[in-house]
Amino acid sequence: MSKTTAIWIVFSLITVCVGYADDFTDCRELSRRLTRLDTAVNRDDILCVVYTEMIGSGWSPIKAVFLENGVWSEPERIMYQTGRPAVCAGPNGEFYAVWAGNGTTYFSKKVMGQPWTEPVNLATVSSWCIDLVCDPLGNLYLCSMEDRWSYKFPYFKFYDGVYWAPAVRVDRLRSVTTLSAAPGKYTGAHFVFSDYSFTKIVRVNPDLSFELHALEDIEYPYLARDALDRIHLTYRRDPMVNDLKYWYAVFPWSAPDITSAVPILPGFGEKSRHLDLRHIVVDDYFQTHRILNYYHSDSDLVTGLLEEYSPFHEGTACLFSEGMNTETQVLATTSDGDIHCIYMSQDSDGNYQTRYCRRPRTRPGIRIRLSTDLLKPGEPFKMDVILSNPGNTTVSANTVICLAGSGEYWFYPGWGSTMVETPVTMPAGFSDTWTLMDVELPEFSTEIGPFQIYATLIDPSTGSIVGDPSGNSFLMKP
């Protein structure tokens, strides 16, 4: 296979959407009616769900449950009051939660094995639109709306682990329907907010300055960030502007741009009266997962739909609540590529239940994990190559590791310009990690970053991709 073909395999993006697949497992009822909930996964693949529960005509206090190694914990109360929560994971495995309620915003921290810290009143007015993200340095970015004088003031609030900085307003609006945030891979954050007539995306820089970009004629936006520091944006267009209503765009951290957006589920509107976006996550294998709701054309029931966008395989759309009135969906992904769905549904008798389902990854895959995100030629670092085959048959393939930056390409080992393929055989259920010590980068002709390292499994006979590739990015150390 030529170097050009290999690079095309690594970098090409193909969008295909096919029919339904029923491949959920571990489905179970969590509670009668959890709502106002959010999820986060830490570095140890522990899933945290922060929520309130509807009890009679009222709401329970803020609580949290954890899923670790397939076992759910008992609920832990974070605060006696109720509200709208958001949660994120920190770089050391800790969890942070905020929630809007009683005219203010509260904050708490959880270290596994210890109770949640006493809630801190941030003395900041928040609306029901609230999100919280953490960058790799442990800095928190609270993104929300301040309601004052019939206006909405989108703002962010920065926390360095010790001190909460004053809120920074970024705009003044009459109404807001959606807010979503994503952390930067190195530092900073993006958040996006929208009403029915406009959408704006905010880039928060490391010095806490911000840039505001308007995205015309889109609504209901949701953000996610991948390992290559790209922003994934899912949104709906005004049907008066374009007949294809639901779209998906990927753009660099530094340049919000939706000109290359692709349609989601084209033609799906023919099967439904309404389709609504809910949540988006991106896993380590470049798969983008989205929850959508749609109303059947022959009934008033709402059905949850999980759609997968893969740049290297056909996409799939999976029904996870056929024939139920479904709402309050959230998604999370663990490092093994499994997708975790939590949703609330209502049966024909009006009974509510909150359910959890896991969608396991079934394709073989290869992942790259670097010991640091700041590298320099001549300074050794550790690189883990993680191989897995969760399927039922043996897979034989060749591994290819490619370094890309500033229009140049190098291949491991040796970082030469000629592609190097290393054979590997993975039996069913195989999982292994190759730890490559004292890896050094080649001398670059330029030090413009970030750079990327990609890992791919290739069929030795056809040259086509086998399973799920992955990638990671890094910055040049000064």
DSSP 349-380: T--EEEEEEEE---S-EEEEEES-SEE-TTS-
Residues 6 or more apart in contact with residue 412 via CB below 8 angstroms: 401, 402, 403, 420, 436, 439
Please give the structure tokens belonging to residue 85.
């929560």
Residue pair 343/354 in contact (Cβ under 8 Å)? The answer is yes
How far is 136 from 188, CA to CA, in rounded Å?
Answer: 9
Q: Which residues of the chain have pLDDT under 70?
A: 1-23, 32, 56-58, 125-127, 149, 196-197, 238-244, 265-275, 294-302, 314-315, 321-328, 444-449, 477-478
Q: What is the pLDDT of residue 4?
A: 43
The amino acid that residue 152 corresponds to is K
Q: What is the pLDDT of residue 37?
A: 84
State which H helix or E strand residue 9 sits in: helix 3-11
Please give the structure tokens belonging to residue 294.
């749609």
Q: Which residue has the tokens 């190559």?
A: 385
DSSP state of 137: T
**Helix/strand/coil for 238:** coil
Q: What is the pLDDT of residue 394?
A: 95
**Helix/strand/coil for 60:** coil
Q: What is the pLDDT of residue 275?
A: 65
Q: What is the pLDDT of residue 8?
A: 37
Residue pair 99/122 in contact (Cβ under 8 Å)? The answer is no
Q: What is the pLDDT of residue 273?
A: 54
HSE on the CB side for 39, CA within 13 Å?
24
How far is 459 from 461, CA to CA, in rounded Å?
Answer: 6
Q: What is the pLDDT of residue 301?
A: 61
The amino acid that residue 102 corresponds to is N
Comparing 28-359 with 365-476, is the CATH topology the same? no
Q: What is the pLDDT of residue 6?
A: 44
How far is 338 from 359, CA to CA, in rounded Å?
Answer: 6
Q: What is the pLDDT of residue 13?
A: 31
How far is 395 from 108, CA to CA, in rounded Å?
Answer: 46
Alpha carbon 459 to chain centroid, angstroms: 29
How far is 293 from 210, CA to CA, in rounded Å?
Answer: 33
Q: What is the pLDDT of residue 392?
A: 92
Q: 28-359 sits in which CATH class? A: mainly beta
Looking at domain 365-476, what is its CATH homologous superfamily?
Immunoglobulins (2.60.40.10)
**Helix/strand/coil for 8:** helix
Q: Residue 471's beta-bridge partner residues?
A: 454
Q: What is the pLDDT of residue 322?
A: 62
CA quadruple 37, 41, 44, 47: dihedral positive or negative? Answer: positive
Provide the residue ranges of all domains of the chain, joining segments of one domain with +: 28-359, 365-476
Q: What is the pLDDT of residue 10?
A: 41
